[in-house]
Amino acid sequence: MNEKILLVGDKRICPQVAYVMDWQNYAMVEQLTSTNVAQYRDYKIVVCTFKRKSKNLVKIKTKTLKVIYLDDVCRLLDRPNAGRKVIISQRPRRLLKRLAVKLLNYWRQKHVLRNQWLINHIPSKDLRLSELFLKVLYSPPLNIECNKIENVCHIFYNGDVCGCASGWVEPFGNLKQDNPQKILHSPRARIVKLSSLNRSFCLCNRQLCLNAKYVPQVDSTLKNMLTPEYPTEVIIATDRSCNLRCPSCRKHYYQADVYEQNVIAEMSQKLIADGWLKKPRSVTVAGQGEVFFSKNYRDLLPQIQTNEIHILSNGILFNRDNWALLADRFKTVHAEISLDAATSTTYQKLRGGDFAKVLQNLQFISDLRQAGKINQLQLNFVVQRTNYREMAEFIELGKQFHADGIYFLHLNNWDTFDAATYARQCLIIDHKYLDRDFYEYLQKPIFHDPMVDLKAFAPYLANSAKRYDKKRR
Ligand code: SF4
């Protein structure tokens, strides 16, 4: 839009409206009065409130001016989706509630829903753009420090492009339907990014999130409203094909069939065409599946031209032949190897692979690390009841192979466990405390080693300390 825009209203609201609407050429005043109106005669005036008799317009006759309000902005947002059915996918059991949802759906087809309480009770995936925008605009800031959404893009096998891990935050769009750059700069992506820029994080699933840093005080200032043209980090998880079948990840072995491979190849082509394997600072393969097993990932690796690459692998195929796909092509190589066990029996139980082979490859990776060909080596361990007593031994194993870090993650249920099995395996009680034996086990001095990362358990450790240590006293 080339016309000049004047935003009238609250200092916190106006820049957010401008960011979502992608208005760069704008001026801002808190109040438009008879004295300052003359200089804005040729501006389009956007009053950032729903109220027609706003205190932001003092003694102004608006008839001769081009004035729009927040509900008009909402209609502009919804316009590309006009005709799209807006429905709430929840079907409450009670008849009255079901009727109310039906009525609301009908009403939402024609009107801008402004009621914050209703908006907050509709699942984010069922909100139309204007509603999503109002949810973000009016949510209060939280005491969280995180800038992932602004900089990172995960690409999942269903095509979803997200600013964070699967299910942790609302997606920006879908790669099967659009090009990556178009998705990244779409109004929807801007709204999702705004939830981080205004520090509300209201589109994040904070029960799943492991990476947010909690700070003691809420900072209510807006972040710099400039987001990069390309993501700084791209995490590719487009193919689920894997040579293993870990119960924490899937129920069956999976390898993409020809049809699926074509769909994935199409997504890869879009990434290449839009420079997403060249412009970002780093690319990570593979957020899903095994990087050296999937045909699509193997085809993709030679196309990556970034300075930095992160390889996530189960290690079974990380050998000399496959290293040739990466060797001497990147300034920085990070390798993350997921093992989940320190003994052959547990490895067999949890991963179903050959432990001797993985140790042999680990030695190869460790040699590369010591030769400086790999810049960082991290070993991952998904903690569960079956393996938690091997955590200390796993740290020793990491030291033996000169790992830079040992990352312990908690078990998530990606629909692979029934509720009872998951509750027994995950070692976290009521989403709050650690299992008592597990908590006691974590008191060993070895867990204070700087190479150990227990960040995923930090909130549970703090709660458990209050609970168990108090009882002991
Ligand atoms: S889910 Fe957590 S880590 Fe992800 S963007 Fe939100 S706050 Fe950050």
pLDDT of residue 81: 62
Distances (CA, A) of 332 to 282, 286, 306: 9, 17, 9
Distance 136 CA to ligand 1 centre (A): 15
CA-closest candidate to residue 424, choices 413, 409, 414, 440:
413
Flag whether 448 is in a domain: no
Smallest CA separation from ligand 1 atom 4, residue:
164
Kindly give the number of the ligand 1 atom that is closest to the alpha carbon of 168.
Answer: 1
Flag whether 187 is in a domain: no
Flag whether 20 is in a domain: yes
Of 20-29, 213-222, 365-374, 452-461, which range is least confident? 213-222
Is it the case that residue 53 has pLDDT exceeding 80?
Answer: no
Flag whether 228 is in a domain: no
Flag whether 261 is in a domain: no
Flag whether 21 is in a domain: yes
Flag whether 59 is in a domain: yes
> Ligand 1: which of 143, 152, 201, 409 to mutate, judged by most atoms within 8 Å of the beta carbon?
201
pTM: 0.88
| Whole-number Å distance between alpha carbons of 268 and 260 | 12
The CA-to-CA distance between both ends of the chain, in Å, stands at: 66
Q: How confident is the model at residue 68 (pLDDT cuts 50, 70, 90)?
A: confident
b vs e for 267-284, b when ≥16 Cβ sit within 10 Å of the residue's Cβ?
bbebbeebebbebbebbb
> Total domain count for the chain?
1
- Residue 242 is given by DSSP the state B
Paired with 453 in beta bridges are 407
Mind listing the pLDDT tens digit for each residue in 358-400?
999 999 999 999 999 999 999 999 999 999 999 999 999 999 9
Flag whether 36 is in a domain: yes
- Residue 141 is given by DSSP the state P
The DSSP line for 186-199 is SHHHHHHHHHHHTT
> Ligand 1: which of 161, 168, 172, 193 to mutate, judged by most atoms within 8 Å of the beta carbon?
168
What is the residue range of 73's domain? Answer: 5-79
CA-closest candidate to residue 250, choices 289, 219, 224:
289
As a whole number, mean pLDDT of residues 288-314 equals 94
Percent of the chain with pLDDT over 90: 51
- Burial of 137 per CB tally in 10 Å (0-12, 13-18, 19+): buried
Check pocket membership of 283 for ligand 1, CB cut-off 6 A.
no
- Residue 204 is given by DSSP the state B
The dihedral region occupied by 433, where left means phi > 0, alpha psi between -120 and 50, and beta the remainder, is beta
The sign one gets for the Cα dihedral 157, 159, 163, 168 is: negative
The DSSP line for 356-406 is HHHHHHHHHHHHHHHTTSSSEEEEEEEE-TTTGGGHHHHHHHHHHTT-SEE
pLDDT of residue 2: 67
Contacts of 164 by beta carbon, 8 Å cutoff, 6+ apart: 148, 149, 152, 154, 204, 209, 211
Mind listing the pLDDT tens digit for each residue in 215-262?
888 888 888 888 899 999 999 999 999 988 888 788 888 888 999 999
pLDDT of residue 373: 93
Quick one: tokens of 35? 């004295």
